[in-house]
Amino acid sequence: MAPEGVRASLSDGPAMLWGFQVKVFDAERLVCIKTCFVGRVSVQVRNPDVLDAPGDILIPVLYELAFEKVAAAIREGSLEDEIVFA
């Protein structure tokens, strides 16, 4: 799996949602693209200290949450492009 750049929701307050694509490969072949959205509540449950941290601390947590959902979808046989919420 290879994540793309993270984009945050636009708001006057703290970001409530982050989105990015995760490309799923089989060896060198692109199998599908999962568009992932990770909500603030999911991050807060996993690690509340990173919510307002710089990107180098926050982004790995976002990727971890998304990878868990993408891996679960793949285990269930979902190899098509789709939206995944974490």
- Domain residue limits, the chain: 2-85
pLDDT value of residue 10: 82
Per cent of the chain over pLDDT 90 is 91
pLDDT tens by residue, 32-61: 999 999 999 999 999 999 998 999 999 999
Task: Write out the two tokens for 85.
Answer: 């919420």
Query: Residue 56 and residue 80: Cα distance in Å, rounded?
Result: 30
Q: Are strands 82-85 and 29-39 parallel, antiparallel or unpaired?
A: parallel
pLDDT at 13 over 90: no
Query: Taking residues 12-21, what's their average pLDDT?
Result: 92
β-bridge mates for residue 18, sequence order? 8, 38
At residue 82, the pLDDT reads: 97
Q: What is the pLDDT of residue 21?
A: 98
16, pLDDT greater than 90? yes
